[in-house]
Amino acid sequence: MLVDSFGRTIDYIRISVTQRCNFRCVYCMPNIPMNIGSEEEDVPLEGVLSFIKVAINEGVKKIRITGGEPLLRKGIVDFIAQIYQLNPDIDIALTTNAYLLAPLAKPLKEVGLKRINISLDSLKKETIQCISKRNGLEKILQGIEAAKKEGFLIKLNMVPLKNINDDEVLDILEYGMHLGVGVRFIEFMENAHAKNDTKGLKAREILEKIEKKYTFKLLQQDIFGPATLFEITQAQESYIFGIIAPHNDDFCKTCNRIRLSSEGKLIPCLYHENAIDIKEAMLYGDSQEILKSLKLCIENKPEKNDWNENQTSMRAFYKTGG
């Protein structure tokens, strides 16, 4: 079991399998060339599996595959199958923009993937184009529908941005309600790679938009993630939505996560710049060195992040999976 110096059990690892992405979202990597990197620059998936074996042996129970856009990675279906074969009880999840998801939904379900988080920042074609620099709404919705058909546990992630999509908070919420899937609203994470002057809604502002139409009550922390949950109860029906608010001090109290970047770096906290390079150990399948670095990463995990509204992180979220 992995326990940090503040008594938190670390049993959840987010693994970025590539920094490459087919979107250029304003809050993430708008100024990065579309032809960034190549498959050869990503740590080989066999090496990543060497790390995963050690992590599972140390008590990790949940693994989320991220990017960049993880569905760009060749062999991603076989990779997830191999994780499942290591331990069928591992909760394997994926975060994707869904642009490539529709034809892969069934194969991913068949090899053991359980959960999918899908970025959906708008239901308007022109707004998706504005945010991501890609005319992708149709394919995104097709991906969501395919995932729903296959029976995945689905969460839709929206980053509400001022003067861009902040008028769609209720629309995205009601789309999730109608589809019967969860919605998570995520506060914009200030970072040096985002478009200049990008401003997001804070949790309070998001809730104010929702309460104009719905009444809700606070529930609890999401046991599968960092969201604070709220329940809407109207017309004898209930619906649960969540808000991920890293600006809130409570965000860190129950943090059970570390990250592995596509470059082979272990990151104890998203909003700290420290990291441990384990690429070589993964390439050689050196389980002892991997374990040593994993324990050091847990030891270095801070009590809380360094986030404040006047400080911009230099961390590239497209390399760490956000």
What does the pLDDT look like over 183-223, one tens digit per residue? 999 999 877 778 888 899 999 999 999 999 999 999 876 65
Mean pLDDT across the stretch 26-36? Answer: 80
Residue 297 assigned ligand-binding role? no
**Percent residues over pLDDT 90 in the chain:** 71
Residue 27 assigned ligand-binding role? yes
Residue 212 CB: number of other CB atoms within 10 A?
Answer: 9
Q: Is the pLDDT of residue 56 over 70?
A: yes
Q: Is the pLDDT of residue 83 over 60?
A: yes
Residue 68 assigned ligand-binding role? yes
Residue 155 assigned ligand-binding role? yes
Report which of residues 133 and 246 the model is more confident about. 133
Domain ranges of the chain: 12-320
Q: Is the pLDDT of residue 309 over 70?
A: no
Residue 258 assigned ligand-binding role? yes
The DSSP line for 266-297 is: EES-TTS---EE-HHHHHTT-HHHHHHHHHHH
Rg of the chain over CA atoms, in angstroms? 19
Q: What is the pTM of this model?
A: 0.91
Residue 269 assigned ligand-binding role? yes
In the CATH scheme, what is the homologous superfamily, with its name and number, of domain 12-320?
Answer: Aldolase class I (3.20.20.70)
Q: Is the pLDDT of residue 267 over 60?
A: yes
Under the banding of pLDDT at 50, 70 and 90, the label for residue 86 is very high
> Given its phi and psi angles, is residue 163 left (phi above 0), alpha (psi -120 to 50 degrees) or beta?
left
Residue 253 CB: number of other CB atoms within 10 A?
Answer: 12
Q: Is the pLDDT of residue 224 over 60?
A: no
The H-or-E segment that residue 299 falls in is helix 287-300
The rounded distance, in Å, linking the Cα atoms of 233 and 215 is 7
Determine the pLDDT at residue 22: 93
Residue 259 assigned ligand-binding role? yes
Residue 158 assigned ligand-binding role? no
